[in-house]
Amino acid sequence: YPVAVTDREGEGVLYSTPELADGRANLFQPGTDQTGRQPVPTVTLDSWRRREHQVLPDFIKMDVEGAEAAALRGAQETLAASEPLLLVEMKEAIFQSLGLERTAIQDFLRPLGYRPAGLARGRWRLFDDVREIASRNVWWLKPQLPRHRHKAGRVRLEGLT
C-alpha cells in the first residue's frame, strides 16, 4: 500500500534520500542528505483497516521513523478493540530530533494498560518505565491478558510474575 500511517487522513510529504532505500524516510524532518520530497497519501490505521476490510490485528510491528506517536493515535479504535501486542522501534535520536521523548509513547499506552519490555543483558524483561530500556525495539504488552502472557513467554520475558 503506497500510504503513510499517521493520525489523520490527507496528504503529507515523505522526505527521503534519492536513489537510496535506507529506511530513514520520514514525514517530519528531512535529514541533510534527504533532498527527495514526495507527496504521499496519509491514513489512520483505523480508517485504513475499515476501508480495506482488514481483520483486527493481534500483533502490530511499527517502524515508522518518528511517526510512532501519530500512528498510535490513529489506531485508537484498533488498540481498544483488539488489544494487540505491539513491537515499536523507538530510536532515541529520532525522538530527540523531533523534540519528543520516548515517554510520549508510554504516556499514550500506559492508560490503555500497556507496559514496556526490552532487552537487558541479553534477556527480554518487563519494565515499569521505557526510560529504563536501552534498546530501540520495545515490546508493549498488557501483562494482565493471558494471550499477551502466553506470547511473551515464548521469548522468555522476565518480570511477568
Please say whether the beta carbons of 25 and 14 come within 8 A: yes
Angle 76-9-72 from CA coordinates, rounded to 5°: 25
Phi, psi of 127 (to 5 degrees): -120, 165
Q: Which residues contact 38 (CB under 8 A, 6 or more apart)?
A: 13, 14, 16
Strand 36-43 versus strand 10-16 pairing type: antiparallel
- Indicate the SS3 state at residue 50: helix
Q: Which of 18-32, 119-133, 147-161 has the lowest mean pLDDT?
A: 18-32
Mean pLDDT of 60-74: 89
pTM above 0.75, yes or no: yes
Q: What is the mean pLDDT of residues 70-80?
A: 95
Residues in contact with 106: Cβ distance below 8 Å, sequence separation at least 6, in sequence order: 116, 129, 130
Indicate the pLDDT class of residue 21, thresholds 50, 70 and 90. Answer: low
30 φ, ψ (degrees, to nearest 5): -70, 140
Q: In the prediction, which pLDDT does 127 show?
A: 94
Q: Could you give the CA distance from residue 49 to residue 59 in angstroms, rounded to a whole number?
A: 14
Amino acid at 7: D
| Residue for grid cell 496528504 | 11
